[in-house]
Structure 1
Amino acid sequence: MARRLEGGRLVIATHNEGKRREVAELLQPYGMEVIAAGALGLPVPEETEESFLGNARIKALAAARATGLPALADDSGFSVAALGGDPGVRTADWAELPGGGRDYAMAMAKVAALAQAFADRHAWFSCALVLAWPDGHSEGFLGEVHGSWIHPPRGERGFGYDPMFVPEGGTESFGEMEPAAKHAISHRARAFALLRAACLEG
């Protein structure tokens, strides 16, 4: 039986504003007071695991123990079949700039340059959500959405690799879709649906 999350303050263990906004919107109906780790000045823990769930657990536990509050962490990434699943758990690393900061246009161009020689356009987004408590207990949930990669990227909405991904059965990229339409089918929404059933409505 999963542990239920009661109302109150919840730390979203991210320094990524796009992720914070999407998770906060998903939590809005449950009366949570959401605080971002970045706003609290918490350091970014080193992500040493080779899975999305492992890295999300590191971030959630670090934030919960630092604040004494329940914490929700997201670890997500973009995978391309022709690249053996890369960038995968290294999705953010592919966008890193030598002097600091991230350039996702550069990262998307790199993906396209490496994958364009292959006929297989299959790609997918994965999202792991881990909810952790200060006592070390955690619950983890994984969601995925499959589709195809495109280049050049399309759209100004979303964040990260959204403009180069078209979900199965769709014609618009995640970068072109209205936020509500993306939220209805995204990897993050699918992971959140599992979390909601187990920890918020169970």
Structure 2
Amino acid sequence: MMNFTQLVLASHNAGKLKELQAMLGESVHLRSIGEFSSVEPEETGLSFVENAILKARNASRISGLPALADDSGLAVDFLGGAPGIYSARYADGKGDAANNAKLLDVMKDVPQAERGAQFVCVLALVRHADDPLPILCEGLWHGRILTQASGEQGFGYDPLFWVPERECSSAELKPSDKNQISHRARAMDLLRQRLGLK
């Protein structure tokens, strides 16, 4: 069991910070790397795991605090796992709306049976920048890609991701419901166990 009163989150994404803080609970205060630096590290890894560790080490080095990084994205079966680690930059860094528009266009002629996808989340926690044993937790959330956007909640690809067990898109879920079943929630459940928080 490890005791942290605060962690720095290696992300400037306010939606991600809010989601992860809600899942982590009140015993650990999650601070944004934006408090310490506006510079994003170059994500040079070839996997979610590599990028999560890279971002966590960078955030810890800059802040001097233990750091938590989330590397997550959408892996579409028909596209061989793309956009994958490039999910946030799928439309050349033009943002969520452009990413969604590009995915809809690429998938426009793909039949329902071949529209399977999963959201992937890898959480990496380092006690310090040179931690030789990062804690790694993975979560997968299976669904499929819709033919048009639906819903106003969430961020990223949520409006295009159909959640079979709830019969709605991820963007139609209440945040509290999403925080119980998402890829991030599943990875965070494992992390909370590793930290002795439940």
**TM-score, normalised to structure 1's length?**
0.90
Deviations 1:84-107 (A, max 9, x none): 11101100111434xxxx321221
**What value does the CA root-mean-square deviation take over the aligned residues?**
1.5
CA distance in 2, matches of 1:55, 1:95: 19
Which of 87, 100, 104 is matched with 2:83 structurally?
87
Q: Which runs of 5+ in 2 are unaligned?
A: none
Q: Which runs of 5+ in 1 are unaligned?
A: none
CA distance in 1, matches of 2:139, 2:23: 14
Instruction: Give the secondary-structure state (helix, strand or coil) at the position aligned to 1:147.
Output: strand
* 1:69-84 equivalent positions in 2, closer than 5 A: 69-84=65-80
CA distance in 2, matches of 1:161, 1:175: 8
- How many residue pairs align between the two structures? 194
Residue 11 (structure 2) pairs with residue 14 (structure 1)? yes
Q: Percent identity?
A: 39
**TM-score, normalised to structure 2's length?**
0.92
User: What stretches of structure 1 move > 3 A for 4+ residues in a row?
Assistant: none
Residue 44 (structure 2) pairs with residue 48 (structure 1)? yes
Q: One-letter code of the match for 2:157?
A: Y
* 1:79-118 equivalent positions in 2, closer than 5 A: 79-97=75-93, 102-118=94-110
Measured after TM superposition, the shift of residue 169 of structure 1 is 2.2
Conservation of the 8 A alpha-carbon contact between 2:37 and 2:62: no
CA distance in 2, matches of 1:133, 1:16: 22
Residue 121 (structure 2) pairs with residue 127 (structure 1)? yes
Conservation of the 8 A alpha-carbon contact between 2:17 and 2:30: no
Deviations 1:138-195 (A, max 9, x none): 1111100001110211111100100100123221111111001111110000001111
Measured after TM superposition, the shift of residue 9 of structure 1 is 2.0
Q: One-letter code of the match for 1:111?
A: L
